[in-house]
Structure formats: C-alpha cells, structure tokens
Amino acid sequence: MATVDQRPTLRTEIAGLSIPKLAAEHGTPTYAYDAQIIKDRIDDLKQFDVIRYAQKACSNLAIVDFVRKNEVCVDAVSAGEIRRALAAGYRTQGEPHPIVYTADIFDREALELCVEHNIHVNVGSADMIDQLGEVAPGRNITLRINPGFGHGHSQKTNTGGEQSKHGIWHGDVNDCLIRADRHNLVVTGVHMHIGSGTDFEHLAQVCGAMEKTVAEVGRTVNTISAGGGLPIPYRDGDERVDIGKYFELWDRVRNRIASNFGHQVRLEIEPGRYLSAESGYLITEIRAIKRMGDNLFYLVDAGFNNLARPILYGAYHPMSICPASGVDDNRSMQDVIVGGPLCESGDIFTQEEGGFVSKRSLPVANVGDFLVIECAGSYGFVMSSNYNSKPMAAELFLHNGEAFVARKRQSFEDIIRGEAIPS
C-alpha cells in the first residue's frame, strides 16, 4: 500500500501561487483550497456508481459547485446545507438523488424544505419516519442504520455502537418498516456510516452488516451507501487507503444483493474528508516568537476559532514555514510549539488528545514569516467561530493558476450583525 512521503517543511507556493503574494493580497489567516487535489480525489473514487460529497467537511459554495460540476452528488445534514446545495446549483430531482438529507432529527425548517423540494431523506430515527410520513406520504426513503459498532479517528467521531446517537439501531429495522408501511413510505435505500477517519478494517466490517440489514428490508432496496469515513494520510508515513480493495469488497456485496433481488443495486460512497482535506491550507503569519523555559513558541494569527481539530481531537496537521521573502533559503530545524492568539491556554495547534502540548520540528522562523497548516480542508473553516470576537478567515479557491475569493474575511460589522443594545 502506498505511504505518504515526507512532506516539505518549507514551502513557498500553493498550487503554483506564491504564499507571500496570496497573503499580501488577501491577508491572513486565510484558507486556500487547491481545486486540482479535490479533482484527483474524486477521480480516485470513480469506480463507485455515486460519489456523494458530505459537504459538512467543507461547504463553501465554490467547493460544492466544483464537486457538482465533477458529477458528484451531495449530502446535506441541515436545512442550511440543503440551501447551500441549491445555491450551488444542485437540482432536487433525479436518479441518483442529487441531494440527500441525512440526519437523526428533522428540525421544522429542514422538514419543510425536504417536503417543499421533494428531497430524498435518509432517516436516522424512527420519529423521522412518522414526521415525514404524516406530511408527505408515499415517498421513497433511505434508512441510516447503526450496525451496533463504530470507529473513528477519535471517540468523538465514532458514529456507531451503543454510545452513538446516530442512525437507527440495527435491531429496530422491523419497527421502522412497520412505520414506513403505515405512511406508504417505501424504503429504497440502506445507509451505514460508522465514523469519520475510520480505518480499513472497521470500514470493511460494515459490508457484512449491510448485507444482513438489506435482506431484512427486502426487495424494495435499490441503493446501498457505504457512508463516508475514508481516512487521509495526515502524518508522514501514513498509508493511503486502498480504494481498489475497498471498492471490491463493496462491489461483491452489491452484486450478491442484486442477484438475490433480481434487479440492479446502486453503490454509493459518501466521503467528506477524503475529497477536501488535503486540498486545504490555512495560511497564517507568525506574529510573535517567545521562549517559556525550555519551550520555544511560534505564535500565529490563526487560533482554534479558525481550526478547531487540534483542540477538539488532538488532531495532527502537517505544517510548513514560508519565509516572508518567498525564497527557499534552506533553514535549519528546531523543535517548537505552535499556538494562536486566543485568550485560552488550549489555543495550541501542536497538541495531543487530552490537551497535552507537543513539539514539532520546523524550520527556524522569524516574526513576519508565514506558517501554513496543511490538510486543513475538512472540518476546518466549517467549524470556525467568532470566539474572542475574531473574524472568520477568508477562503480562496485556487483553480487554473488563479486565486478566487470564495469567501471574504469577516468584518467587525459581520461579527456584531444582529446584536443590539437595549435603549
């Protein structure tokens, strides 16, 4: 299996564009997404009948539009994500369903939108079946099943098993079929997503669980979804998941189901991280360098308000330095801790799960140099906040040698919009 070579720790360009120039034109911190990398990852998955982008990973309209133009369908987990899919040009009707709403509840807005636009629903609770059936009987639905086990890169991203709130418990399928019948809803799809950043062994276990559940639901099923969860190599030496082998496992299951039922069965995959993570770079500027006893800190102008994965999960992101001059001047390395500007001691990008600070070997840097946090295109910008009244970063979409401003940096007025002082 292919492993990832050592990534450069000194980088002057992203997608052929000069980092100091991008920073001068757009400021920092700024996310930059390399469209070619998204395209390459889409191409990796072309064996699957349907690639459905889990836009929760990175839902900027430019990215959602780009995947749409590359024949990728989309998953929406909220009313806002349905609206994003529509704004990015997705149709509501068609086979395969261009947009699927996947959730464990309907809030009132999401239910209204699904009914109004006849959006296919992947239900994650029995209550959703009743709520949809009461206002829109006769529709086709998918059941999201919790197979009784799960796995993620962190316990917080494990979406299966008894401790997870996600999906319909595998033992409750019959109850859901009875409810669906009551409302004339037809179960045409079965979906399983056991976690995010899962490993191959756990993903492979889902195949058996899928076959069992589909047999229970019966011949109305014409689509199975393997969910998302594909990992990406964050660390040097991490292996790339063997997509060919993964597809073969699922293809065998799909073929057995199809031959039992005597009709074709579509095979979907629903990646988020796999499509967008490696495309994303968070460009920051080093604003202070200070020593605390034995520890040297690079303090940059992005914090966990911009990228929360390290504080949430102890997630590791590759990092590189770009000299302010933009010239690779062959610097020596030193061990540093990388932190942000927030008034919170957890605002550290080099930390392990549990909040333990760790050191990273990076080139010697000066205030004014840039520090690029890499593989930040999934669960990066989308989890940002205005903590400490910090504006959300700008987002650039790098395509065909140009940097398109996919989102302007927030202004102070954006931050306080909607607030008021009582008279």
Ligand X SMILES: Cc1ncc(COP(=O)(O)O)c(C=O)c1O
Peptide bond into 341 cis (omega under 30): no
Concatenated DSSP letters of 149-206: ----SSGGGB--STT---SEEGGGHHHHHHHHHHTT-EEEEEE---BSS--HHHHHHH
**The tokens 């589909």 sit on which residue?**
214
Among 230, 315, 394, 396, binds ligand X (CB under 6 A): 230
Taking the complex as a whole, how short is the minimal distance between the CB of residue 139 and ligand X, in angstroms?
A: 20
Q: How many CA atoms lie within 13 A of 381 on its CB side?
A: 30
Active-site residue, 343 included? yes
Taking the complex as a whole, how short is the minimal distance between the CB of residue 228 and ligand X, in angstroms?
A: 3
Residue 305, interface with ligand X (CB under 6 A)?
no
Residue 227, interface with ligand X (CB under 6 A)?
yes
Residue 82, interface with ligand X (CB under 6 A)?
no
| CB closer to ligand X, 19 vs 230 | 230
Q: Which of residues 8-37 bind ligand X (CB under 6 A)?
A: none
Residue 57, interface with ligand X (CB under 6 A)?
yes
By the 8 A CB rule, do 99 and 76 touch? Answer: yes
Among 151, 179, 266, 273, binds ligand X (CB under 6 A): 273
List b or e across 386-412, with b for residues whose CB sees 16 or more CB atoms inside 10 angstroms. eeeebbbbbbbbbbeeebeebbebbee
Tell me the residue ranges of DSSP E strands in 35-118.
50-54, 73-76, 99-103
Residue 297, interface with ligand X (CB under 6 A)?
no
Among 28, 30, 125, 196, binds ligand X (CB under 6 A): 196
Residues contacting ligand X: total by CB under 6 A: 18
* Binding span for ligand X by CB under 6 A among 111-119, 226-234, 256-264, 280-288: 226-234
| CB closer to ligand X, 228 vs 340 | 228
By the 8 A CB rule, do 104 and 112 touch? Answer: no
Q: Residue 38: what residue type?
A: I
Which residues are CB-neighbours of 255 under 8 A, at least 6 positions away? none
Taking the complex as a whole, how short is the minimal distance between the CB of residue 276 and ligand X, in angstroms?
A: 8
Residues found near ligand X in the complex (CB under 6 A): 54, 57, 75, 102, 159, 193, 196-197, 227-230, 270-274, 378
Catalytic residues: 343
